[in-house]
Amino acid sequence: MLEKSIGQSAAILNSDFIAIAIIKDRHIVWANAAMHRIFAYEPDELINLATRNLFLDQGSYETFGREAYAAIAEGSTYTGIIPQKRKDGSTGWYEFNISSFGDCSDVAVGAIVDRTASYQALQKLEVSESRYRSVVEDQTEVISRFLPDGTFVFVNDVYCRVFGKVADELIGHRWHPASHPDDIPMIEARLSEMSLDHPVVTIENRVYVAGGELRWMQFVNRGFYDIGGTLREIQSVGRDITVQREALTSLQASEERYRTLVETTSVVTWFCPSNGLQVAPQPAWMAFTGQTAEEMLGAGWAKVVHPDDVEAAAALWQSAVERGEPFLNTHRIRRHDGVWRWMSVRAVPIRDRQGRILEWMGMGQDVTEQKQAEMALAESEEQLEMALAASGLVLWDWHIPERKVTAGNRWLELLGYNAEELGHNEDDWMDLVNPKDLESFKQKISAHLQGETASFESEHRLRHKDGHWVSVEARGRVTLRDRQNSPLRMVGTILDISQRKRLNEEGVDLLKRIELLIRDSSSPLTANAENVKAAESLTKRQRQILGMIATGMTSAEIGKQLHLATPTVISHRRNLMANLGLHSTAEVTRFAIDHGLITTK
C-alpha cells in the first residue's frame, strides 16, 4: 500500500525544489533528491537511515518525536524549526512540516525547508550589534546636573553636542530637551517616584536632538538629598538607544510576520506551460498573493511584483523561457494582506525524453527575514565603521586559542603596512611592541586574561613600517570565556596618541626653558616704566589670558576654561603679544612674572 501511494504521488514527491521524506517506524523509507542534497548525502544514502542520526542529541530527538507524533495523532500538521546534523557533521537549521501520508496512518511525510542561511545571518547581526555596543556605548553618554527647579549646574561636551547647545547657554539656566508629547506624562510620573529611599529613576523616552531628529534615549536620573531628606540636586546620565529600540521593534514585527507565514505557507509552488504564460489557476499562488484566477493568467503574476523589481524580474524570466534555462531571482511580491515579502523564486523546465520542454515548475520561498537581517547587518556594520572613523579608534579582535588577531584597515594605515605584510598571527603583532614597553604590556594583558582586572589598558609604542615609533593607547576586554573561565576571545580598540604625547613633551621642554631663562637672569625682576604702564592698562580678562599663556596652557585649554571659542583666544593672544612687544611664550612668562601675573613659587 505504501509503495502504491508513493507511486501515485511520484510527480510531487520528486520535486527538485522541495525536500520531502517519508518516515515509517522512525526510519526514512523514502527521500527525494532535494532531501539528500540539503543534508549533504549521496543519492539513496538516507534510505533506511534512523531519524535519530539527524538529531544533535537524544533530548531534542525525543522532544521532536513527542510533539510531531502528537500532532499527527490529532490529524493535524506538525510545524517547527529545529537544528539537524548533516552528513559531514555540520549543523543546519530546517523548517519541518510533517503530517500523515495519505491513508497510511503509520507513515508520515515531511516537507523540509533549509533555513540555515537566515539563521546564520541573524547570528552575524547579533555579533555585529554586540561589537558596536562595546565600542560606542561608553562614548555617547550625555551627562548633566541640575537643581530641583531645573537650573543646570553642569553639562558635559557630549550633552552640548547632542542637543546643539553650548555650556554658557545652559549653566545657570533652566532648560530641558524637547520630548515627544506622548512621553511627557510618563516622564513626569516616573520622576515623581524619586525619593530618599528610591533615589534612582531610569526613564526611556523620545527626545528631539540637534537638527530636529527624534531619537530614543535612556536617562538614569539620581537624586542627591541632604541630611534632612530634602532633594538638593539631580544627576542625569543618558545614552542613545535608538538602534536597540528599532531593532527590538523590527524583531517583534518580524517574528509576528513569520508566525503568520508559518500558519499559512512558507513555500509557494506553481506550474505553467512551456511558453511561460499561465493558462490555469495556481491555488498556492492565489492564496499567497490574493490574486484571482483571471488576474494571474498570462503574465498577470507581474502585477504583484514590486515596481522597483518587476522590470528586471520579467526580463530574467523571459530570457530563461527563451533559452530553456533555469530561472533564479530574488524580488519582492505583494502578499494578500498588502505586505511586501522578499521571495527567492526558482523555476526549471520539465523535459520529455527528446529534451523538449513540457512545462515549467516553479517555487517561491519567503526569505524576508534573511534579507532584513542582511540589511540590518550592513547598517550595523556601517554605523560601527562611522563610529570608529569619527573617534579615530582602531578595532581589534583577538581569538585567543587560535592565536589569531584581526583588525580593520585603519590598523594598516596607522602603521603603514599592507594586508600581506602584516598577518593575523599573535606573535607578529607582539613583535611590533617596543622592547622597552613589552614587559609592562604583557603583564597588563596577563592580569586581565587571568581575571585580575576588569579591563585591559596600556600605553605603549608600536613600530611603524618606516622604522619610527607610534605611541598608542590600547583598551580591551575579554568577551568570551569557557566553562573553566579560560579566555577565548578579547575585543578592544587602539588610539593613536602620538600627537598628545608630543604636545606633552613640548610643554615639559618649554617649562624647562622658562625655568632656565629665569634662573640665568642676572638682574632682579624689574620692569621699566613703559612696561609698567602697559601692564597697568590691561583689562582683567587680558591679565587672566596672559597669565594662562605664561603657565604653558594652549589656546584650546584657555578657551575651554574661559568658555571662549578657540579662534577668539588665538586672536586675543596674538593682539596682546603684539601690543606688548612680546615674541615668544618665554617672553610672556618673564613679563607675567615681572608684573605679578604669576609667581615663581
Residue 377 lies in a domain: no
pLDDT at 2: 46
* Weakest mean pLDDT among 2-16, 122-136, 196-210, 426-440: 2-16
Residue 431 lies in a domain: yes
Q: 258: pLDDT confidence band, cut at 50, 70 and 90?
A: very low
Residue 506 lies in a domain: no
Tell whether 170 and 199 lie within a shared domain.
Answer: yes
Tell whether 228 and 301 lie within a shared domain.
Answer: no
What is the average per-residue pLDDT within 238-264?
Answer: 70
Tell whether 212 and 288 lie within a shared domain.
Answer: no
* DSSP letter string, 173-222: SB----B-GGGHHHHHHHHTT--SSS-EEEEEEEEE-TTS-EEEEEEEEE
What is the average per-residue pLDDT within 409-423?
Answer: 81
Of 495, 493, 473, the C-alpha closest to 397 is 493
Question: Does the pLDDT of residue 451 top 70, yes or no?
Answer: yes
pTM of the model: 0.32
Question: Does the pLDDT of residue 563 top 90, yes or no?
Answer: no
More confident residue, 434 or 540: 434
Contact by Cβ (8 Å): 357, 274:
yes
Question: Does the pLDDT of residue 79 top 80, yes or no?
Answer: yes
- pLDDT tens digits along 284-302: 888 888 899 899 899 999 9
Question: Does the pLDDT of residue 522 top 60, yes or no?
Answer: no
pLDDT at 16: 62
Where does residue 1 rank: exposed (0-12), middle (13-18), buried (19+ CB within 10 A)?
Answer: exposed
Tell whether 442 and 339 lie within a shared domain.
Answer: no
What is the average per-residue pLDDT within 313-328?
Answer: 93
pLDDT at 401: 92
Tell whether 97 and 32 lie within a shared domain.
Answer: yes
Tell whether 89 and 146 lie within a shared domain.
Answer: no
Q: Where on the phi/psi map is residue 453: left (φ > 0), alpha (ψ -120 to 50), or beta? A: beta
pLDDT at 136: 38
Highest mean pLDDT of the ranges 17-31, 209-223, 421-435: 209-223
Domain range for 531 is: 518-594
pLDDT at 263: 46
- Mean per-residue pLDDT over the chain, rounded: 83
Residue 255 lies in a domain: no
Instruction: Scan for cell 608684573, then name that residue.
Output: 595
pLDDT at 504: 57
Tell whether 10 and 99 lie within a shared domain.
Answer: yes
Number of domain units in the chain? 5
pLDDT at 135: 45
Of 446, 409, 415, the C-alpha closest to 429 is 415
Residue 483 lies in a domain: yes
Tell whether 366 and 470 lie within a shared domain.
Answer: no
Question: Does the pLDDT of residue 40 top 60, yes or no?
Answer: yes
Q: 50: pLDDT confidence band, cut at 50, 70 and 90?
A: very high
- pLDDT tens digits along 103-151: 777 888 888 988 888 888 878 877 766 664 454 345 568 999 999 998 9
What is the average per-residue pLDDT within 386-407?
Answer: 79
* DSSP letter string, 45-80: TTTT-BGGGGSSSHHHHHHHHHHHHHHHHTT--EEE
Between CA 360 and CA 291 the distance in angstroms is 20
Between CA 126 and CA 437 the distance in angstroms is 36
Contact by Cβ (8 Å): 320, 361:
no
- pLDDT tens digits along 162-198: 999 998 999 999 888 888 999 999 988 998 899 999 9
585-594 helix and 529-536 helix, angle to the nearest 10 degrees: 90
Residue 380 lies in a domain: no
As beta bridge partners, residue 475 has 457, 493
Question: Does the pLDDT of residue 223 top 90, yes or no?
Answer: yes
Label the pairing between strands 214-225 and 231-240.
Answer: antiparallel
Choosing from 496, 528, 544, the residue where a domain stops is 496
Residue 395 has, within 13 A of its CA and on its CB side, a CA count of 20
Residue 328 lies in a domain: yes
Question: Does the pLDDT of residue 12 top 60, yes or no?
Answer: no
What is the average per-residue pLDDT within 44-58?
Answer: 92
pLDDT at 503: 60
Q: 8: pLDDT confidence band, cut at 50, 70 and 90?
A: very low
Tell whether 330 and 402 lie within a shared domain.
Answer: no
Tell whether 7 and 108 lie within a shared domain.
Answer: yes
* DSSP letter string, 337-406: TS-EEEEEEEEEEEE-TTS-EEEEEEEEEE-HHHHHHHHHHHHHHHHHHHHHHHHTEEEEEEETTTTEEE
Tell whether 327 and 361 lie within a shared domain.
Answer: yes
Residue 364 has, within 13 A of its CA and on its CB side, a CA count of 24
Q: In the chain, pLDDT over 70 holds for what percent of residues?
A: 84
Choosing from 372, 402, 437, the residue where a domain stops is 372
What is the average per-residue pLDDT within 270-282?
Answer: 88
* Phi, psi (rounded to 5 degrees) for 24: -140, 135
CATH number of the domain within which 470 lies: 3.30.450.20
* Weakest mean pLDDT among 247-251, 270-274, 566-570: 247-251
Most distant CA atoms of the chain, gap in Å:
122
Residue 490 lies in a domain: yes
pLDDT at 408: 72
Choosing from 58, 80, 114, the residue where a domain stops is 114
Tell whether 105 and 11 lie within a shared domain.
Answer: yes
